[in-house]
């Protein structure tokens, strides 16, 4: 059973979703803010700040929390089951090389994997999301 605080995992999930939803940027067109009703979307300019924010958050976690975050992602993407928790944590610790944030942020569908991993243990981010609104 994970000992990492669920709110910490959910914070990473929320930020990873922001990264997944970002616009990759487009060339400027003839449009202007008035025509666009002053609506703006996230673009490449915002990408670095969100990425840096979540990377700093993960890097600030202790080694045990980082290891459990990796193990949760592995369980969430189906490499291990909840019953293999101890094994997943052990392997995450053994295989740790370099930056955990770089590894996790390079993982496609990170938010979904972490949510699925939490779900394997009967946890979810539903209350975390409700608290942030």
pLDDT over 90 percentage in the chain: 66
The H-assigned helical ranges of 61-122 are 63-76, 85-95, 100-105, 110-119
Residue 131 predicted with pLDDT over 70: no
Pick from 62, 68, 118, 117: which is nearest to 89 by CA? Answer: 68
Residue 77 predicted with pLDDT over 50: yes
- The string of pLDDT tens digits covering residues 15-65 is 999 888 765 554 555 555 555 555 544 444 545 688 899 999 999 999 999
Instruction: Please give the residue that has the higher pLDDT: either 27 or 121.
Output: 121
The predicted pLDDT at position 1 comes to 83
């Amino acid at each position: 059973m994970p000992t990492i605080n669920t709110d910490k995992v959910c914070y990473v999930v929320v930020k990873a979703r922001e990264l997944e939803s970002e616009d990759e940027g487009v060339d400027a067109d003839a449009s202007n803010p008035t025509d666009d009703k002053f609506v703006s979307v996230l673009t490449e300019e915002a990408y670095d700040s969100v990425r840096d924010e979540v990377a700093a958050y993960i890097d600030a976690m202790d080694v045990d929390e980082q290891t459990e975050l990796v193990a949760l992602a592995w369980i969430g993407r189906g490499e291990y089951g909840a019953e293999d928790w101890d094994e997943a944590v052990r392997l995450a610790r053994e295989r740790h090389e370099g930056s955990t944030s770089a590894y996790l942020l390079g993982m496609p569908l990170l938010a979904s994997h972490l949510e699925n991993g939490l779900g394997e243990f009967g946890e979810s981010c539903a209350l975390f999301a409700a608290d942030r609104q």
